[in-house]
Amino acid sequence: MARRAAAGLLRRLGPLAGELQARGMSPTHYGTTNHGFSRFYLLQVAHIQRNPAYSVLNSDDVSYFKIVLGESSVVQDEDRVAVANVDWMGKYKGSSQLLLLPKSTTEVSKILSYCNSRRLAVVPQGGNTGLVGGSVPVHDEVIISLGGMNNIISFDNVNGILTCEAGCVLENLSSFVENKGFIMPLDLGAKGSCHIGGNISTNAGGLRFIRYGSLHGNVLGLEVVLADGTVLDMLTTLRKDNTGYDLKHLFIGSEGSLGVVTKAAILTPAKLPSTNVAFLSCNDYMSCQKLLLAAKRNLGEIVSAFEFMDRHCIDLAMKYLEGVQNPLPASPYSFYVLIETTGSDESYDKAKLEAFLLRSMEDGLVADGVIAQDISQASNFWRVREGISEASVKVGAVYKYDLSIPVEKLYDIVEEIRSRVGGMGEVLGYGHLGDGNLHLNIVSNKYSDKILAQIEPFVYEWTSNQRGSISAEHGLGLMKAEKIHYSKSSEAVQLMGSIKNPYCSWKRSYGAELIEPSLWLVPIQRRL
């Protein structure tokens, strides 16, 4: 059986135009907000009371912002504000009346300083592609969009260091550095809309994490504006700097709860000339695991992505994504794996991948497979994988979980949830297997408490029992702010609270009546 499949694979082996990056060739543009869907899921916010300590916006505030930013950067137009009030999934909806579009760090600083003194709540917004409800207001917070701060400041050609403003769209940065012979260390399906500032604030993982690691390693420096308007200049481009605490790490992944990221310096790896993409099928999850181990051992230095998806994902992608073809249409399999290799030697890399796949088929790990012969096939493979989230929201309602779990246990939760949900919804398991990151999506026609009750708190308890994380890469946002204790100890949460607002602990210690300096109303604050 394996030999027959191996023969089939060999026929389809072929080179991929090495000098082109497959994913970069097929940019996926997602609109800022997915307004095709009007099914706001307000159940989660219903219990969150607006904090009366925050002021209500008035006409004097608006006049002040117009003086500081200019008329065109102070948006009250209902349609434009409505777009910024809703998240990409059409699931979380705020009721802000005001969208501000600063063009410089000084303007961000003036906005925050003013909001702080007036006790106006704010929410920073990047490309609004976040999947946990953190990018939109919960109530009437002023939305500060970084979209107007989209300049590339400099590029160091020798060291591959990009310095840019926070509102630059990831895909634009990718094109820019690729022209210089480098690539961005991160890539994700939302690249056409998400901002680098949003990526940093969520510590986005994505498709290249397995090769280039976390933004904690790739961000060299940041400029951040604190809640009271103080500009914190940490915009170094040094690789090594051990002078005191490396404060930038507090802002990477803190979802706007500590400050607004305004500029970043990022280390970009050299663009390598040879890329190959394989799309494979496996009969069971154990084979996917063994394949991952084999890829680490045998493809080691050239693996640049190892993604997996179950049959339900492929079925959904084929049903809802226009113009996408099933790379392995002959028969359905239980699991699919996408492996990308990137290296510096075209013939060596290709031969290495082919040999690996043949051996994996002979060992029975791979049931069938195909290697992209050209850029358009490679783009199609990636479109299947990257399009799963887009296909999911088209069903109607999506309950989205993003878990870090030891690889050997990772698919158990999908099966558990599938049996709990039964016929009420379709359960999808996919994600960044190479990073131990499962995306568990439950899709159905409409949101229902009955389905939710089958998923939560079970999914969080189960993950916690495995010492996993309830947010591998999407963040906590509004969805999971109050679930933080499933992944962090109470001592850790308390320390986070004192970092966020040191005045609270001073107040407790000294009984002093200090004014709280931070007026963030991003969801994480409620927990801390």
Interacting residues toward ligand FAD by CB under 6 A: 30, 88, 123-131, 134-135, 146, 166, 188-190, 194-195, 197-199, 201-202, 204-206, 255-256, 260-261, 389-390, 473-474, 477, 522
Q: How far is the CB of 128 from ligand FAD (least distance, A)?
A: 4
CA distance 68 to 88: 30
CB of 67 to ligand FAD, least distance (A): 23
Secondary structure (DSSP) of 278-316 = EEEEESSHHHHHHHHHHHHHHTGGGEEEEEEEEHHHHHH
The item of ligand FAD, ligand MLT, none sharing an interface with residue 129, based on CB under 5 to 8 Å by kind, is ligand FAD
Contact (CB, 8 A) for 249 and 242: no
In angstroms, the CA 496 to CA 476 distance is 14
Considering the complex, what minimum distance in angstroms separates the CB of residue 92 from ligand MLT?
15
Distance CA(174)–CA(214), nearest Å, equals 17
- Nearer to ligand FAD (CB atom), residue 253 or residue 369: 253
Asked whether 430 and 384 are in contact (CB, 8 A), the reply is no
Query: Which of ligand MLT, ligand FAD, none does residue 380 bind (CB under 5 to 8 Å by kind)?
Result: none
- Interface with ligand MLT (CB under 6 A): 131, 189, 388-389, 431, 439
Q: Which is nearer to ligand MLT, 18 or 185 (CB)?
A: 185
Q: Is the dihedral of CA 432, 209, 289, 416 positive or negative?
A: negative
495-528: burial string, b at 16+ Cβ within 10 Å, e else: ebeeebbeeeeeeeeeeeeeeeebbbbbbbbebb
Nearer to ligand FAD, 102 or 425 (CB): 102
Q: Which of ligand FAD, ligand MLT, none is residue 125 near (CB under 5 to 8 Å by kind)?
A: ligand FAD
**Smallest distance, ligand MLT to C-beta of residue 388, A:** 6
Decide whether 204 or 371 has the Cβ nearer to ligand FAD. Answer: 204
Q: Is 429 helix (H, G, I), strand (E, B) or coil?
A: strand
Token couple for 143: 């939305």
Rank residues 50 and 420 by Cβ distance to ligand FAD and give the closer one: 50
Q: Which amino acid is at 289?
A: Q
Give the rounded distance of the alpha carbon of 148 from its chain centre.
21
Quote the least distance from Cβ 15 to ligand FAD, whole Å: 27
Q: Choose from ligand FAD, ligand MLT, none: what does 439 bind? Cβ within 5-8 Å by kind.
A: ligand MLT
* From the list ligand MLT, ligand FAD, none, partner contacted by residue 468 (C-beta under 5 to 8 A by kind): none
> Taking CB within 5 to 8 Å according to partner kind, which of ligand FAD, ligand MLT, none is near residue 130?
ligand FAD
Q: Which is nearer to ligand MLT, 81 or 317 (CB)?
A: 317
Between 123 and 398, name the residue whose CB sits nearer to ligand MLT.
Answer: 398
Shortest Å, Cβ 133 to ligand FAD: 9
Task: Report the residue closest to ligand FAD, judged by CB.
Answer: 198
Instruction: Name the helix (H) or strand (E) containing 423.
Output: none
* Helix, coil or strand: residue 116: helix
Q: Could you give the CA distance from residue 193 to residue 495 in angstroms, rounded to a whole number? A: 34
Closest distance between ligand FAD and the C-beta of residue 144, in Å? 8
Residues contacting residue 428 through CB under 8 Å, at least 6 positions apart: 309, 310, 312, 313, 316, 388, 392, 414, 439, 440, 441, 442, 443
Q: Which does residue 522 touch among ligand FAD, ligand MLT, none (CB within 5 to 8 A, set by kind)?
A: ligand FAD
Indicate the residue among 123 and 440 with the shorter CB distance to ligand MLT: 440
Is residue 517 reached through a cis peptide bond, with omega within 30 degrees of 0 on the bond before it? no
Q: Which is nearer to ligand MLT, 191 or 439 (CB)?
A: 439
CA distance 367 to 365: 7
Instruction: For the CB of residue 509, give the shortest distance to ligand FAD in the complex, in Å.
Output: 29
The residue with its CB nearest to ligand MLT is 389
